[in-house]
Amino acid sequence: KLKELILMSSQFSSVDKSIDVRGKICPYPLIETREALKTMENKQVLEVITDHESAAKETIPNMCRLKNYLFEVVKENDFFRVLIQKSEEG
């Protein structure tokens, strides 16, 4: 139920793939995010669940900016949900 509410308020209508990297610190959340994106098609949305604040606020968003991917960071109670839409430019 909570996930549906978040996605309805998100710029992304659905999630195509989700990875949970809670408990991992940099560089592992970023590495796993890049690996997951490699397996995805353009316009698909990856959800990354992390409790590592710098991954959610710095390293993953920086990669998204470099690749011109749309992204959104949603703060939950004790973790972050990073939604990334893969694009052709990346």
pTM of the full structure: 0.86
Q: How many CB atoms lie within 10 A of CB 40?
A: 15
Beta bridge partners of 75: 80
Q: How many CB atoms lie within 10 A of CB 52?
A: 21
**Mean model confidence pLDDT for the chain:** 88
**Per-residue pLDDT band at 13 (split at 50, 70, 90):** confident
For residue 8, is pLDDT > 70?
A: no
| pLDDT at position 10 | 60
| Catalytic annotation, residues | 26
- Cα separation of the two ends of the chain: 32
For residue 53, is pLDDT > 50?
A: yes
For residue 2, is pLDDT > 70?
A: no
For residue 90, is pLDDT > 80?
A: no
For residue 26, is pLDDT > 70?
A: yes
Residue 3: phi and psi, rounded to 5, are -60, -40
